[in-house]
Chain A
Amino acid sequence: DAGITQSPRHKVTETGTPVTLRCHQTENHRYMYWYRQDPGHGLRLIHYSYGVKDTDKGEVSDGYSVSRSKTEDFLLTLESATSSQTSVYFCAISETEGGYTFGSGTRLTVV
């Protein structure tokens, strides 16, 4: 979707290295979310943000941290990547009482 972009689209990294995924929006929406999707588990919420510097944990937050210093950017950091974090990561945005828009995803492989 034109209003939300994720970068990088694909990444291969080694176990133990830090990784940061970026979600950028041009819609000025208040809420931003990070999900991961794995076969057999569906989409699971990692962290979310309800404003600049306001973030909270989701269902599967262990091993992940987030930051939101500007309305338009929501960063997801894997401090020390593990093979269990190999997944497809989706960012989403929403505004109060509106629908949610998802990004195209980042495919992360930890080797």
Chain B
Amino acid sequence: DAKTTQPNSMESNEEEPVHLPCNHSTISGTDYIHWYRQLPSQGPEYVIHGLTSNVNNRMASLAIAEDRKSSTLILHRATLRDAAVYYCILTTYNQGGKLIFGQGTELSVKP
């Protein structure tokens, strides 16, 4: 499984945009880039995923580099409820689609 590298922690201010980076230099052509977050005492929550093109949904945007070796999760306006651990994970569906979690980025949001 291709690995991802994320900063251990990040801080942001409430109501400001947040850019969470992820490096995945060994990504293969069939790897999808997934983002999940886990709030304290809850199960992981799907945020967004994509293959090659940038993606937007109601929660966030995913910006994928042209060479696909890095990506950025963008929270457009951070709220206190966005404080969580964010995981960037690569998965290939034709291998059972396993999600292998790393340590993620712990995001704190200051009022």
Contacts and interface: CB of A to CB of B under 8 A. Distances in A.
A45 to B, nearest CB: 6
B78 to A, nearest CB: 21
B99 A45 contact: yes
Given A42-B104, A99-B49, A50 B96 contact: yes
A92 B34 CA distance: 14
Contacts of B45: 102
Interface residues on A, range: 20 to 34
Most A-side CB within 10 Å, residue of B46, B96, B100: B96
Interface in B65-111: 93, 96-104
A7 interface: no
B107 to A, nearest CB: 16
Interface in B14-53: 32, 34, 36, 42-46, 48-49
Most A-side CB within 10 Å, residue of B42, B43, B48, B99: B43
29 contacts: A33-B98, A33-B99, A35-B101, A42-B101, A43-B44, A43-B101, A44-B101, A45-B98, A45-B99, A45-B100, A48-B98, A50-B97, A56-B96, A90-B44, A94-B97, A97-B32, A99-B34, A99-B48, A100-B36, A100-B44, A100-B99, A102-B43, A102-B44, A102-B45, A102-B46, A103-B43, A104-B43, A105-B42, A105-B43
Closest 5 CB pairs of A and B: A102-B43, A99-B46, A43-B101, A102-B44, A50-B96
Interface of A: 31, 33, 35, 42-45, 48, 50, 56, 58-59, 90, 92, 94, 96-97, 99-105
